[in-house]
Amino acid sequence: MNTREQTEKIEQMTLSPIATHACDTAGRQYPEEEDDLRTAFSRDRDRIINCKAFRRLKRKTQVFLSPEGDHYRTRLTHTLEVAQIARTIARCLRFNEDLTEAISLGHDLGHTPFGHAGEHALDEICRVHPLEDGSTSFHHYEQSARIVERLEKNGRGLNLTEEVRDGILCHTKGTQAKTPEGRIVRVADRIAYINHDIDDSERAGILKESQLPPEITAVLGNSKRERIDCLVRSVVCCSADGVIRMDEPVQEAFDKLHAFMYKSVYVNPHAKSEESKVPLVIEKLYEYALSPEHLTADMRVIAQQDGIRRAAVDYIAGMTDPYAVELFEKIYVPHSWQLR
């Protein structure tokens, strides 16, 4: 019995009966030999950490566009916070931590530059200019799945297990993930972003923690630590059957907190003033990318196989915030020059 088989046996002995066991995976997109050290899900986690899209997350917006300061969240730090919360919940419920972590680390790989403003701008482009595959919308969770299935490794994808790909695709709105581990990531994502958005909003001078409504803090607590602890404990206490949920008073307070944040931060004119510039930048970059010679080598391959509009959207979606701004300036902003 090799190391992987020993780990799989330990999983069968220690995990919840309704947990997802690595030895029972539905498999990968195309067959490959098993590793003798790592389970299928731990291999997926390692592949995601080592892919290019994961490294780009460090320079992608979370909630505020290009903030000045080292302590604001990026899409990468958000991803790590989601993984930490999700693993805690999975460990307490005796679900598969490797699967939970892999989904967490991959869930936001498809986020665009400029956060949700960039996502909305690409969605509008797809609505007006349908892609060759018939798509008339753009959603970051679908792009995350496309990255791991199609775009990474020069068009070969990461060949992840079905459980990880399903969890990535279903981490937000719409259909719930097939596994309890995937469903954990969905709630962990929401717990993470709402609480760290409060922290970043206070750092930006947009919101003070003391402004949170008393009917919310009375249930969830008065600090980020207290709120996350309360939410995680509620999920753990109520979700042993694999239906990931909170008790009713906590869920109600959490929903009120989200509504408060939406009104106070997510549509706040001061916090979002720069986002009005995003559609123009994305539109101009799209027009530029419709010429194959302007694409990177790997995107030119995608253009040949999937169509130029699909490749242009993939190219822009993969950009970091600074790269998108620098490319826009290079193309459209006049630069000074000297006569010789």
Window from 22-36, 205-219, 264-278, 305-319 with minimum mean pLDDT: 264-278
Q: Could you tell me the domains of the chain?
A: 40-269+293-326 (1.10.3210.10)
Cβ distance 281 to 331 under 8 Å? no
Q: What is the pLDDT of residue 59?
A: 93
pLDDT (0 to 100) of residue 334: 87
Provide, rounded to the nearest whole percent, the portion of the chain with pLDDT above 70: 96
Per DSSP, 59 falls in state: G
The mean of the pLDDT values for the chain is 94
Residue 176 has what pLDDT? Answer: 96
Supply 240's token pair: 């042993």
Specify the range with the lowest mean pLDDT, choosing from 61-70, 140-149, 201-210, 323-332: 61-70
Locate 300 and state its tokens: 């030119």
CB 162 within 8 A of CB 52: no
Q: Given pLDDT bands bounded at 50, 70 and 90, which one contains residue 66? A: low
For residue 32, CA distances in Å to 29, 140, 164 come to 9, 28, 16
- State residue 72's pLDDT score: 80
Closest CA to 168 of 152, 185, 180, 156: 185
Q: Residue 74: beta bridge partners?
A: 61
Q: Is the pLDDT of residue 261 over 80?
A: yes
Alpha-carbon distances, residue 278 vs 45, 65, 252 (angstroms): 32, 10, 34
Q: Which residues contact 302 (CB under 8 A, 6 or more apart)?
A: 150, 151, 155, 310, 311, 314
Instruction: Tell me if 86 sits within 8 A of 101, measured CB to CB.
Output: yes
Q: How far apart are CA 134 and CA 113, in angstroms?
A: 23
71 contacts: CB under 8 Å, gap ≥ 6: 203
Q: What is the token pair recorded at 264?
A: 């106070």
Task: Say if residue 225's pLDDT is above 70.
Answer: yes
Contacts of 255 (CB under 8 A, 6+ apart): none
Compute the average pLDDT of residues 221-236: 97
The whole-angstrom separation of Cα 106 and Cα 110 is 9
| Residue 86 and residue 104 in contact, taking contact as beta carbons nearer than 8 Å | yes
**pLDDT at residue 340 tops 80:** no
Answer whether 126's CB lies under 8 Å from 316's CB: no
Tell me the pLDDT tens digit for each residue of 237-249: 999 999 999 999 9
